[in-house]
Structure 1
């Protein structure tokens, strides 16, 4: 049974929003859907802009992670850093890029940090990070400047973009989230080749300074148009899935809702943790992101050690970045058709098999085989990110998604440590073959864990924490 409550005035919590009539539909489980307002009523234009702008912003910041490995040799020569120094700089960057997601979400959901302001702050911090990487010769200040400041800045932008698209497309968030997330990988492609062919100790200051300015300008322009939808908002042309025959109005939206039904209600972070599913997702992010970061950090060096030339080394990383990004969009679309969990298991298995394939290609000294498994590694190493980004609101709702996904994504904190810095220690102890074999095994364990995922409250046997009482209005 559902109940409708007509609302024709602004709520006190949203004083700056325009006046538009809407109604709140409550389903049998108590979940509220705010319907009646179109995207154009709220934004003044199509919500598609809330896909394209986050996508452009993600492409801008991708240079920090996915092109860094191609710049390491020049940075080491210019500043006198060891290979371990450059790996730890990236590891610290990853730690803070992932770590800021939860506190940023907490601030956003309490109205203390708007999406636009988070983007502006992030853009400025990214600029400072590249200036630090360019001009600070001592490794510790460089770690603070690029790793801490630049990592926090990139994390603010990343988390804001992912949450933005998920809120505006609740009925088919898989494809949209995957598309936006893909920009974080293939946006780095031009810089991978710049760092391999036009980046040396004579021009590194100018190149890094210009990249920092590029990130600042692109992200700041996109941020100007950022705006969140109201809480509980649901597209006016899609019937909320409150009963039999619901979720209609859009063929693609209806198909996605059939495979990926929305959360039974809005879970707070504490409630989401108590279901057991959020901690399970966190562990899986630790494992899969660690394998992905390991590949990003070591593939170019492994290719050079095997004896492949710089073109193959750069091309393998370029292939990984492009397929990493395209794969995110493809699996987002597939997850709308197959279901999130099935797609996630498939992606993680591919990631694991690719690690063993890289070993085989290296031992065979086969460049084409190496590029093929770089292709597979890139696909699996990025595709799981949008799946977790879509699974989180699917399981726990949109209202607290900034903090809930911040908790899930914080698993990358640990991944950055063992994927980059600790990964270099494993390579030193076991060699590349041993390290890649370990990465493949970790992936297979993560795929087995994915089979345990269940949407809280959807099955008859599920036990879900009771929702907190809603305040009287």
Structure 2
């Protein structure tokens, strides 16, 4: 492909940063790239900060989902709630956390909601959520406070953080997105220990209030530095047409070529690929949520002691996060679609492995398959987050990824609610077998994904070039 200059200009720099001219070039597919400006020209510092700050924010909000289960018993006793009450509080949280991604993206791409404002708003809403969980005995008020308001706040922070790193690393987004996404799981680990060993009916108000303040402060400080790159921006150290310059980026781009153009949400839907991604997200996230919801109960049902049951959940939470970073890095080497299919197959096989380990009463084997389930049950999230801009571009990624991620709305229903009905009807073995089958169907659907507008020959012609 040859460069086709279409515009030139000068970037408005941050205070203390250089004001460097840029130019816009067009490739053979018609996609526009804005080249010439470095990250320091725009931000005044390295774009690496746009990885670390979203990562810190994601770790801060992870307590809401991944540590909630460890606090349920104390909350039930303190407020007089039933197990069903606490289940619905989290289910509503998951619904609104996933549901806000698309409308938030729509508002961001129209300039109504900036990245900073989204983060500031989300941090305040998270504080309200924890205060509600702490002080409202009425379960409906707790659902409204933590489930609705807290869920919306966490969703704003999650969607903004994931979108931010994707925009700043269009040439090597897999590893960066996986790293940031991983914080949303293992960031909860300290709070899991707090809720298990230092959380009771005598101090639950103070603990929850302090956690809410902690989330507010951490996210708000990170938000202060959030800034989107200009539309169509491309890093100055690698040619977007020949992929020459940075060797690591060149290899990643050869495996994951950029979208042929910037697709609006309607255009992305019409390609047929976004609906396929949504269906795959629904099925895979449902299996993941099922595993998180029922693994401890199944371990107890199988006769394993409480230490094994708790350890299996701890293993799942840590590997769930670490696995996201690992598969993100691998996807830059293997290709995004190959990596996505791999993790979905691993997730499916792990469900059958859990059945086997439970049947033969082997604790170590059970922990091993809990490890695999945790890996597969988290690693697909950054793959969708990276695959969406790979297929449809960065300019409308906030809404496009919001549509894909909205599949988690449905997943929360059949992974938790319908999952409990299947367990009641078929037992744990039947439910886990069904989950494994659903995962394999999802992997088959993922095999059908194709980058819109680009045939396989296009990707093969884009080979890494030596550094200049």
Relative to the length of structure 1, the TM-score reads 0.93
Checking the alignment, whether the CA contact within 8 Å between 1:354 and 1:374 is kept in structure 2 is yes
CA contact (8 A) 2:261 2:393 kept: yes
- The aligned counterpart of 1:78 is 78
Shift of 1:228: 0.4
Partners in 1 of 2:418 and 2:394 — Cα distance?
35
SS in structure 1 at match of 2:368: helix
Instruction: Label 1:41 to 1:268 Cα distance change in 2 as closer, same or farther (>3 A).
Output: same
CA distance in 1: counterparts of 2:423 and 2:80, whole angstroms: 22
Following superposition, the deviation at residue 203 of structure 1 comes to 2.2
Give the corresponding residue for 2:6. Answer: 5
Contact 1:231 1:399 in 2 (8 A): yes
Tell me by how many angstroms 1:159 deviates: 0.3
Any stretches of 5+ residues in structure 2 without a counterpart? 459-468
3-state secondary structure, aligned to 1:178 = helix
Give runs of aligned pairs for residues 33-432 of structure 1, distance below 5 A. Answer: 33-241=33-241, 246-432=242-428
Deviation of 1:460 (Å): 7.8
C-alpha displacement of 1:318: 1.4
Q: Which moved more, 1:149-158 or 1:420-429?
A: 420-429
Greater CA drift, 284-293 or 19-28: 19-28
Query: Measured at CA, do residues 59 and 185 of structure 1 come closer, stay the same or move farther in structure 2, by a change above 3 Å?
Result: same
Counterpart contact for 1:90–1:420, Cα < 8 Å = no
Q: Is the 8 A contact 1:284 1:450 kept in 2?
A: yes
Distance in 2 (CA, whole Å) between partners of 1:201 and 1:259 is: 53
Runs of 4+ in structure 1 deviating by more than 6 angstroms, as ranges, are none
Alignment size in residue pairs: 454
Structure 1 residues 247 and 24: alpha-carbon distance in aligned structure 2, compared to 1, 3 A threshold: same
Q: Deviations over 1:254-307 (max 9, x none)?
A: 000000000000000000000000000000100111111111222223223333
* Cα deviation, residue 461, structure 1: 11
Is the CA contact (8 Å cut-off) linking 2:94 and 2:412 kept in structure 1? yes
The unaligned stretches of length 5 or more in structure 1 are 463-473
Query: For the aligned residues, what is the CA RMSD?
Result: 1.8
Once the two structures are superposed, what CA deviation does each residue of 1:154-175 show, in whole Å capped at 9, x if it has no partner?
0000000000000000000000
1:392-434 deviations in Å (ceiling 9; x for gaps) = 0000000000000000000001011111223222223322222
State the shift of 1:92 in Å. Answer: 1.0
Question: TM-score with structure 2 length normalisation?
Answer: 0.94
Aligned pair in 2 of structure 1 residues 424, 133: CA closer, same or farther (>3 Å)? farther
Secondary structure of the 1:24 match is: strand
